[in-house]
Amino acid sequence: MIPAIDSKIRRRFDASAGRYDRYTTLHRQIAERLLSRVTKMPAPKICLDVGCGTGYLTRRLKDCFPQSEITGLDFAQGMLEAARVQNPGIAWILADSRRLPFSDGHFDALVSNLAYQWAADLPQAFGEARRVLASGGILACTLFGFQTCRELFESLDQAKAGQLQFARLPDTNQVREALTLGGFREPGVDREEIKITFKGMHELMLWLKAVGANNLLQEGYLGPEALLRAAAIYKEKFSNQQGVESTFEVIWVHAQK
Ligand SMILES: C[S@@+](CC[C@H](N)C(=O)[O-])C[C@H]1O[C@@H](n2cnc3c(N)ncnc32)[C@H](O)[C@@H]1O
C-alpha cells in the first residue's frame, strides 16, 4: 500500500510522463555528469537505476556498459511505459524505492538521478538501497536539495504573509543523516547551485508542473490575486536581464556498502 503523500507524487509524475522529455534538459545534463562519475568506476555487472523516469540515464548506462545487466525502476506507471517504448532491450520494474523487490546484495551499483528527494522516508529508501547492494557496492546519486526554488518560496510566502506551507526538499545534512541511518558509513555528500532563468514566475510554475514537481506547495489556498502579488515580488527581487532567476540545488551522493 503506497501512503497518500507518495501516491500524490506518483500521480503527478504519471501525469507528466507524456511531456517530461521535452522539459528536462536540466535533468539530462545532470544525468550526463552523474554518468561521467559512474564510468570512472569499474563496469558493474548488475546495476539498478532508481526513479528512472522515462529512462534517459538507464539507456545511457546501457550505452556505456553494454555487457552489464541494467534495470530501471520507477513507481509511476506512465513514466515506465514511456521508458519501455523507447528502450525495449532494458528491464523495467514498477516499484517503490522504499521496498525494492530484489534479494539482499543483488546489485553491485545503484544509481539514481533527481529521484530520492521525493522519498517520503529517506532513511528507509537508503536502507533499501544498501540492502540490495553487494558488499563493496556503490550508490551514486543526485537529489534536488532544500535551496531549490527558494526564490519562488520566498515570493509566495511574502505574498501570503506566511500563511502557506511548503514541502521543502531535504538539505545536505538531512541527506547525510538519512544515508547514515540507512547504514552507509562515511558517505560522500556534496552540493552545488545551478541558476536557471525563466521568463517569469508563472513560466517557472508551468515548468515545475511539466516535470511533475508541482507538489511543493502543501497547505493553503493561493488564489489569483496572491499569485499576481507573488509574481510581482519575484520580478522585483530576482530579475536578471533575460527574465527571473531560480536556484536549483543539486546534492551529489557517493556511498559504498
Ligand atoms: C525528477 S524525475 C527523475 C527521472 C529520471 N531519473 C531523470 O533523470 O530524468 C523523478 C522520478 O522519480 C520517481 N520516483 C519518485 N519517488 C519514487 C519512489 N518512492 N519510488 C520509485 N520512484 C520514485 C518519479 O516517478 C519520477 O519518475
Of ligand 1's listed atoms, the one at least distance from the Cα of 120 is 19
Is residue 14 assigned to a domain?
yes
Is residue 92 assigned to a domain?
yes
Rounded to the nearest angstrom, the distance between the alpha carbon of 9 and the centre of ligand 1 is 9
Of ligand 1's listed atoms, the one at least distance from the Cα of 211 is 1
Q: What is the pLDDT of residue 218?
A: 58
Q: How far, CA to CA in Å, does 58 sit from each of 55, 166, 183? A: 5, 31, 25
Q: What is the mean pLDDT of residues 30-54?
A: 97
Is residue 240 assigned to a domain?
no
Rounded Cα distance, 144 and 216, in Å: 12
Angle formed by the axes of helices 224-238 and 201-210, nearest 10°: 110
Q: Which domain holds residue 75?
A: 4-146+169-193+249-256
Q: How far, CA to CA in Å, does 232 sit from each of 152, 198, 235? A: 11, 14, 5
CATH of the domain at 18: 3.40.50.150
Q: How many CB atoms lie within 10 A of CB 190?
A: 11
Rounded to the nearest angstrom, the distance between the alpha carbon of 97 and the centre of ligand 1 is 9
- pLDDT of 16 above 90: no
Rounded to the nearest angstrom, the distance between the alpha carbon of 229 and the centre of ligand 1 is 32
Binned at pLDDT 50, 70 and 90, residue 20 comes out as confident
20 or 171: which carries more pLDDT confidence? 171
Rounded to the nearest angstrom, the distance between the alpha carbon of 75 and the centre of ligand 1 is 7
pLDDT by residue (tens digit) across 97-123? 999 999 999 999 999 999 999 998 999
Q: Give backbone dihedrals phi and psi of 20, rounded to 5 degrees, phi first.
A: -50, -50
State the pTM of this model. 0.94
Is residue 37 assigned to a domain?
yes
Q: What is the pLDDT of residue 2?
A: 43
Cell digits of residue 61: 548506462
Candidate from 5-14, 103-112, 156-165, 166-175 with smallest mean pLDDT: 5-14
Q: What is the pLDDT of residue 192?
A: 98
Of ligand 1's listed atoms, the one at least distance from the Cα of 212 is 1
Q: What is the pLDDT of residue 1?
A: 41
Mutate to test the pocket of ligand 1, among 52, 56, 59, 122 (most ligand atoms within 8 A of CB): 52
pLDDT by residue (tens digit) across 207-250? 998 888 776 655 556 788 888 999 999 999 999 999 999 999 99
Binned at pLDDT 50, 70 and 90, residue 3 comes out as very low
Q: What is the pLDDT of residue 86?
A: 84
Query: Is the distance from CB of 192 to CB of 252 less than 8 angstroms?
Result: yes
Q: How many CA atoms lie within 13 A of 22 on its CB side?
A: 8
Output the residue whose Cα is nearest ligand 1's atom 23: 51
- H-helix segments, the chain: 4-23, 25-38, 56-64, 77-86, 122-132, 150-159, 172-181, 201-210, 224-238
Is residue 64 assigned to a domain?
yes
Of ligand 1's listed atoms, the one at least distance from the Cα of 95 is 21
Rounded Cα distance, 72 and 209, in Å: 23
Is residue 185 assigned to a domain?
yes
Look at the chain and report how many structural domains it folds into.
1
Is residue 209 assigned to a domain?
no
Is residue 154 assigned to a domain?
no
